[in-house]
Each structure stands twice: as C-alpha cells, then as structure tokens.
Amino acid sequence: MAIAKQYLKTKPICKVTFTVPVAEEAKNVAVVGDFNNWNTKESSLKKLKNGTFKGTFYLPKENTFEFRYLIDGAYVNDSEADGYQWNEYAGAENAVLEI
C-alpha cells in the first residue's frame, strides 16, 4: 500500500493519492476516515487493469486524519501510514495520516 502527498503551492490543500495493490480477486476497495465522515459511498477507489486500486482526495493542510481501507467489507490499515491511533469505538487501531 502507498500514500503519495503532493502539496499545492497556491492553496492550503494537499493532493493525497491512496494506492492499494490488492490483487485481482478484490471487488471493492474504499478509504474511509475522518476526512469523509467514514462514508463508504464517497470513498471508493478505482480498480486499474493490473488489479491495483487507486484514488485521490484533496485534503486541508496542517491536519491529522484517522483512516482505514475497507476491502470487500474487511477493515485494513495501511502499513505506510504516518502512525496509528487506538479507537475505542472500533476496538482496533486506525491508521493516521498527517498533512
């Protein structure tokens, strides 16, 4: 998994691209977190021909967000996240994205 951050010079926004190389058997991958109110409908990643899922979000700078991937109904953390935060509600750790 990978997270690419591109800071825009003219706006207080960061272009964040999430890439999930899950293999072709996965049908749906979404990235849900604080930045989209954990909404799975607005967070789907696009499946590429090679089986990788990819999506870009424009997020405000100088923020920290908790997030997880939802891969065919199962929550998964990104191994390349900036950190991890325990979430009492979920009873598990969430990945942390620092922008």
Q: What is the mean pLDDT of the chain?
A: 92
Span 78-86, mean pLDDT? Answer: 94
What is the per-residue pLDDT for 61?
95
CA distances from 66 to 21, 32, 83, 90, 95 (A): 21, 9, 9, 12, 6
**Cα-to-chain-centroid distance, residue 68:** 6
What is the per-residue pLDDT for 36?
94
What is the per-residue pLDDT for 90?
78
Whether residue 24 is predicted with pLDDT greater than 70 in this model: the reply is no
What is the per-residue pLDDT for 37?
93
Q: Name the token pair of 2.
A: 């990978």
Percent of the chain with pLDDT over 70: 98
pLDDT tens digits for 31-71?
999 999 999 888 999 999 988 999 999 999 999 999 999 99
Give the pLDDT band (50/70/90) at residue 29: very high
